[in-house]
């Protein structure tokens, strides 16, 4: 084993922990809200991608300062990293790193996240009304990390508590709207079809990046007809669902901040600069780009691992 292997092993631990995940996932979720598959003007998407690159560079740079190595040393450590890296990484970590280096991957990741959040909000609503068992976690599947699953479990608990306390003060129109949303299968079927398509498009973009081929979008999916719903009623449902999605995001952010605070309090490996960087990113303050070389080296190492592994 290389004497530099500790550097990469340390990085793996950092990328799997809340100091990295809290600001990165919060950024992805909150910024994803404007990303739509049908958008023709992507100028705002490009600006957000630049912000994301800056955030990734900022967090990696702060991490390197904490462990006391230079970008050059990190680059050398990446080149000597031991095999089996892939087994230590969750799929979302690959996407997060590559998305900073590839606009198409970033765009697909953000569109898919927006749809996924709407689907989670819908499933939370259904759960409140007893359509889905309380033990069910919205977004169940291999794509959710254990940390995210723990956050969702807390969000579900708070959401159910909130709903019980708000029910008495909820006007009849809102109650009827919620009931119509949770009892209709059309909206959920539509979101599930869109979510599946965007996941496939993201996977294709990842493969294209690995092979250095040009990206081409797959054909559009079969749209689930919603002809039985009045257009104005459909608009109300979509707006209400988005308001529930926004509340879901607020609850997730609260839980992530608590997770970060607990980690900082209990961890034996203190990362003061990384922790301050995470909190600065969470506060919404503007951050400056730092070490591009680190991100490039990390992306190259992960790509090599996937190709060779």
Give the domain extent around 239. 5-308
Give the pLDDT band of residue 26 (cuts 50, 70, 90). very high
User: For the residues 36-51, what does the mean pLDDT come to?
Assistant: 89
CB 124 within 8 A of CB 156: yes
**CATH code at position 154:** 1.20.1520.10
Q: Pick from 6-20, 85-99, 204-218 the range whose average pLDDT is largest.
A: 6-20
Distance CA(58)–CA(62), nearest Å, equals: 6
Give the pLDDT band of residue 1 (cuts 50, 70, 90). very low
Q: Pick from 39-43, 114-118, 284-288 the range whose average pLDDT is largest.
A: 114-118
Residues 6+ positions from 8 with CB-CB distance below 8 Å: 77, 78, 80, 81, 82, 85, 301
Give the pLDDT band of residue 99 (cuts 50, 70, 90). very high
Residue, of 116 and 295, whose pLDDT is higher: 116
* CA-based nearest residue to 184, from 131, 253, 245: 131
Distance CA(294)–CA(74), nearest Å, equals: 7
Distance CA(85)–CA(72), nearest Å, equals: 20
**Two structure tokens written together for 252:** 């997730």
pLDDT value of position 222 = 47
Mean pLDDT of the chain: 80
Give the pLDDT band of residue 46 (cuts 50, 70, 90). very high
CA dihedral 199, 201, 206, 211 (to 10 degrees): 150
User: For the residues 203-224, what does the mean pLDDT come to?
Assistant: 65
Residue, of 270 and 242, whose pLDDT is higher: 242
Kindly report the pTM of this predicted structure: 0.84
Q: Cα angle vertex 109, ends 108, 112, to 5°?
A: 80
Residue 72 CB neighbour total at 10 angstroms? 11
Calculate the alpha carbon distances from 16 to 9, 22, 27 in Å: 11, 10, 16
Per-residue pLDDT reduced to its tens digit, 281-302:
887 766 665 556 677 777 777 7
* CA-based nearest residue to 256, from 233, 238, 282, 235: 282
Number of domains, the chain: 1
Per-residue pLDDT reduced to its tens digit, 214-258:
555 555 544 455 556 788 888 898 899 989 999 999 999 999 989
CB 12 within 8 A of CB 93: no
Question: Above 80 in pLDDT, residue 274?
Answer: yes
Query: Lowest-confidence range among 21-25, 31-35, 133-137, 255-259?
Result: 133-137
- What is the chain written as a DSSP string? --TTHHHHHHHHHHHTSHHHHHHHHHHHHHHGGG--TT----HHHHHHHHHHHHHHHHHHHHHHHHHT--HHHHHHHHHH--S--GGGS-HHHHHHHHHHH-HHHHHHHHHHHHHHHHHHHHHHHHHHTTSS-TT--TT-STTS-HHHHHHHHHHHHHHHHHHHHHGGG--HHHHHHHHHHHH-SHHHHHHHHHHHHHHHHHHHHHHHHHHTPPP-PPPPPPPPP-TTS-HHHHHHHHHHHHHHHHHHHHHHHHHHHHHHHHHHHH-SS--HHHHHHHHHHHHT-------HHHHHHHHHHHHHHHHH-
């Amino acid at each position: 084993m290389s004497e530099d292997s500790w550097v990469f092993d340390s990085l793996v631990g950092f990328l799997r922990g809340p100091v990295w995940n809290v600001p990165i996932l919060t950024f992805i979720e909150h910024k994803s809200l404007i990303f739509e598959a049908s958008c023709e003007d992507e100028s705002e998407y490009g600006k957000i991608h630049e912000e994301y690159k800056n955030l990734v560079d900022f967090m990696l740079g702060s991490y390197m300062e904490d462990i006391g190595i230079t970008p050059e040393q990190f680059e050398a450590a990446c080149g000597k990293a031991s095999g089996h890296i892939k087994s230590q990484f969750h799929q979302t970590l690959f996407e997060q790193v590559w998305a900073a280096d590839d606009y198409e991957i970033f765009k697909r990741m953000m569109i898919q996240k927006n749809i996924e959040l709407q689907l989670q909000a819908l499933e939370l609503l259904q759960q409140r009304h007893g359509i889905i068992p309380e033990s069910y976690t919205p977004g169940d599947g291999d794509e959710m990390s254990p940390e995210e699953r723990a956050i969702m479990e807390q969000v579900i608990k708070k959401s159910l508590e909130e709903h019980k306390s708000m029910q008495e003060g909820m006007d009849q129109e809102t109650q009827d709207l919620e009931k119509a949303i949770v009892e209709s299968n059309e909206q959920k079927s539509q979101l599930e079809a869109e979510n599946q398509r965007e996941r496939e498009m993201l996977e294709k973009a990842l493969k294209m990046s690995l092979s250095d081929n040009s990206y081409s979008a797959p054909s559009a999916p079969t749209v689930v007809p919603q002809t039985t719903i009045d257009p104005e009623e459909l608009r109300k449902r979509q707006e209400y669902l988005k308001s529930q999605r926004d509340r879901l995001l607020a609850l997730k952010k609260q839980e992530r901040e608590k997770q970060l605070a607990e980690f900082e309090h209990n961890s034996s490996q203190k990362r003061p600069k990384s922790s301050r960087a995470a909190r600065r990113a969470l506060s919404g303050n503007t951050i400056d780009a730092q070490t591009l070389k680190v991100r490039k080296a990390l992306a190259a190492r992960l790509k090599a691992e996937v190709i060779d592994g």
